Structure 1
Amino acid sequence: MALSVVDLYKNALPKTNCKECGFPTCLAFASMVVSEKHPLKNCPYIKTEIIKTCQKELDEQHAEGKWTKKDMAQDALLWAKKRAASMEIKDLPERIGGEIINIEDGSALRLPYFEDFVLIKKESVTNIQGTALNRWEQVFIFNHIAQGGKRDPTGNWKSLQEFPNTISKIKSMHSHVEQPLIKKFAGDIQKLIEASKSLGGIDVTDKYSSSDIAFYFKVFPKIPVLLMFWDVDDSFDAEVKFLFDETIVEHLDIESILFLSERLRQLLCGES
């Protein structure tokens, strides 16, 4: 029978709230054991026989994912890999760009990514040195592989809300992408210019003079992003917009467009 937080607290823990486990109460400790797989043995006063009995139950329910806190990044990555599983590496250059190269354990797609490259294999995406990209980056790259698009950008730019089924994502774009950029660069537009250039951004302000600055990023060969920024002044608050080529929905699902936008924001802000 699965152990809930209350079950563990009532039937296994000493209920002394001694804090020696590192948590303020026995109930808080129970919650971490059940939802975060915190070691039950870290309670200094629980009996050995109770640990043995309860740990078996806990291991079984953790394996089933019962009451555990969801690892959203891992779940998304497994889903993206499953979507891309049928794609052959050798077929990718024609669709999304890059080139096939030989590596020690086979072949990989060497795909331009900002000013650098990534290596795409069946089960992993790494930088050119072989270090795995973070899981959200891998998610939108595997989804790029799986989406099936192959059209080149047309140069017709759209904001996120101009694409279908994005209403629920507008708030996330504002809070996780636009607001942090405004907080970081409002009143210091030169820093944004420098950060954009460091990522290989091309200054296209002369073509989009309605904004204070505009930068073109070639994230992948067929996925460009346009950043437009209006700095704060006496009459208006700062504003930022990411625009996408109209073909992006052929290369990424809407969720992955948001993941990519968040990653670009992180890189501009100097976050790992």
Structure 2
Amino acid sequence: MPLDNPLEVYKLLPKSNCKLCGLASCLAFASAIIKGEKHLTECPHLDRKFIEEIEGKIVRQLTQEEQLKNVLEPLKKEISRVDFSKSAERLGAGLSGKKLSIRCLGKDFTVDSEGNVISDCHLNVWVITPLLNYIIQGAGNDPTGKWVPFRELSKETVWNSFFHQRFEKPLKLLLDAHPDLIEDMIYIFSGKPVKAHFDSDISLALYPLPKVPILICYTKLTEDLESKINVFFDETAGTNLHIDSIYRLCMGLLVMFRKISLRHLGSPRDGVSVI
């Protein structure tokens, strides 16, 4: 019988919570095994014969990034049916021969008729997937300048919860720890400071896709007050990109912001590209 969830693996562990594997509990260890982050040999209480018996039964879960890569193939097939000549003006893109050129976060991305994406930047699957969906699904509606929160784009509670817990909250913590990240967003991603919105200290507009702008409003952490972040989208965003792609696009941004915070950009703006 395959072991494809943490509880099934947990049943086979000693349940001592000894922490010798480096994790807080046997359940956490079981979860890490399913994710491929830990190996059974890291539990000192399991003998080799037992490990050999059950190792082949463990079914590792795909990471979110691996799942996204699996989504790319059907998207590429859909791209092959798109008329690029009609799409260029609609999407705010350029056309060179049979290739679309789209500006993403201040960088040029070229997409051919087979869905292959070319850029001088490192290609982030969290951004590539929404980019292809933008070409396939985008209505091409121009932004109106009216900013709305994510919850007004999605009526599905689950997406709203995901967005707050997995994007807004981690981004706030990241900005609290690395206040200079706002300046980096401006320099690396061609962010545009705009007049402060919604009582924030900083309001910054990013253009991850030509017609899907994002507004990040951040109030700095002080001795007396907790920091605050609000993320907004143009009211037309949902017509130019499906809600799940908007969510994934934001997760792609978070991945890039985290890379910047870890690198600290070296000596003066060393030109490292993180897309």
TM-score normalised to structure 1 length: 0.70
2:150 matched residue in structure 1: 160
CA distance in 1, matches of 2:188, 2:3: 49
CA 1:198–1:145: 2 relative to 1, 3 Å: same
What secondary structure sits across from 1:154 in the alignment?
coil
Of 88, 93, 98 in structure 2, the residue corresponding to residue 98 of structure 1 is 93
- Contact residue 156 and residue 245 of structure 1 kept, 8 A: yes
1:128 matched residue in structure 2: 119
- Contact residue 97 and residue 222 of structure 1 kept, 8 A: yes
- Contact residue 113 and residue 218 of structure 1 kept, 8 A: yes
1:261 matched residue in structure 2: 250
CA distance in 1, matches of 2:225, 2:75: 41
CA 1:122–1:17: 2 relative to 1, 3 Å: farther
- Is 2:20 the partner of 1:29? no
1:213 matched residue in structure 2: 202
C-alpha deviation, 1:209, in angstroms: 6.5
1:48-87 equivalence runs, <5 A? 69=62, 71-87=66-82
CA distance in 1, matches of 2:53, 2:202: 53
- Is 2:259 the partner of 1:270? yes
Unmatched segments (≥5 aa) in structure 1: 7-15, 37-67
CA 1:69–1:154: 2 relative to 1, 3 Å: closer
Q: Based on CA coordinates, which of the two structures has the bigger radius of gyration?
A: 1
CA distances 1:242-270 after superposition (whole Å, capped 9, x unpaired): 21111111111110000111122222333
1:44 matched residue in structure 2: none
CA distance in 2, matches of 1:116, 1:99: 13
CA distance in 1, matches of 2:198, 2:155: 30
CA distance in 2, matches of 1:214, 1:227: 6
- Contact residue 125 and residue 138 of structure 1 kept, 8 A: no
1:111 matched residue in structure 2: 102
- Contact residue 101 and residue 109 of structure 2 kept, 8 A: yes
CA distances 1:29-64 after superposition (whole Å, capped 9, x unpaired): 2134xx35xxxxxxxxxxxxxxxxxxxxxxxxxxxx
- Contact residue 186 and residue 231 of structure 1 kept, 8 A: yes
CA distance in 2, matches of 1:173, 1:207: 23
- Contact residue 225 and residue 245 of structure 1 kept, 8 A: yes
Percentage of identical aligned residues: 21
2:214 matched residue in structure 1: 225
CA distance in 2, matches of 1:208, 1:69: 39
The AA in structure 1 aligned to 2:106 is E
- Contact residue 137 and residue 240 of structure 2 kept, 8 A: yes
CA 1:262–1:5: 2 relative to 1, 3 Å: closer
- Contact residue 77 and residue 136 of structure 1 kept, 8 A: no
1:153-192 equivalence runs, <5 A? 153-186=143-176, 188-192=178-182
C-alpha deviation, 1:136, in angstroms: 2.5
- Is 2:236 the partner of 1:247? yes
TM-score normalised to structure 2 length: 0.69
User: Structure 1 residues 145-154 or 178-187, which shifts more?
Assistant: 178-187
The AA in structure 1 aligned to 2:156 is T
- Contact residue 84 and residue 142 of structure 1 kept, 8 A: yes
- Contact residue 217 and residue 229 of structure 2 kept, 8 A: yes
The AA in structure 2 aligned to 1:101 is S
Unmatched segments (≥5 aa) in structure 2: 5-45, 261-273
CA distances 1:109-135 after superposition (whole Å, capped 9, x unpaired): 111111111011133342434x77233
